[in-house]
Amino acid sequence: MSTLTIVLLVILVILIIALVALYFFGKKAQKKQEEQQAQIEAAKQTVSMLIIDKKRLPLKESGLPQMVIDQAPKLMRRSKLPIVKAKVGPKISVLIADEKIFEQIPVKKEVKAEVSGLYIVGVRGIRGSLDTPPAKKKGFFKKLFKK
């Protein structure tokens, strides 16, 4: 056998081993995520809150308790999270929103939210529906051309 075929066979074996390893790590990560989702579902409560502000901020600048920042994985500390500042009862709280519902959360409105710890899982509006997205402002030229 030539050296080219030997090199190609070695590369093929390494790729097959890498794919098998990724498959098993993926299954393990999926099981872990399902367990965490079950825990979130078990601990969620419906709370009425007034949304003050929402932003995507790095974990360090979010205003979350230091204990939460310390428990976050190293990679998570650099990424930006959807942070919501809300008034829950008489107290102003900083919460983390789910990526799926972050865009649906209205600012300066009262909502009923499903909360699990510091994590907002779902949102329903008290007055009016949240299904319709807020209307975007028209630009100067669009207003001009409409006239």
pLDDT in tens, 94-127: 999 999 999 989 999 999 999 998 899 989 876 6
Confidence (pTM): 0.66
pLDDT bracket for residue 62 (50, 70, 90): confident
DSSP 3-state of 101: coil
Maximum separation of any 2 CA atoms in the chain, in Å:
78
Token output for 10? 């070695």
The CA distance from 89 to 124, in Å, is: 17
Q: Is 94 left (phi over 0), alpha (psi -120 to 50) or beta?
A: beta
The CA distance from 120 to 45, in Å, is: 10
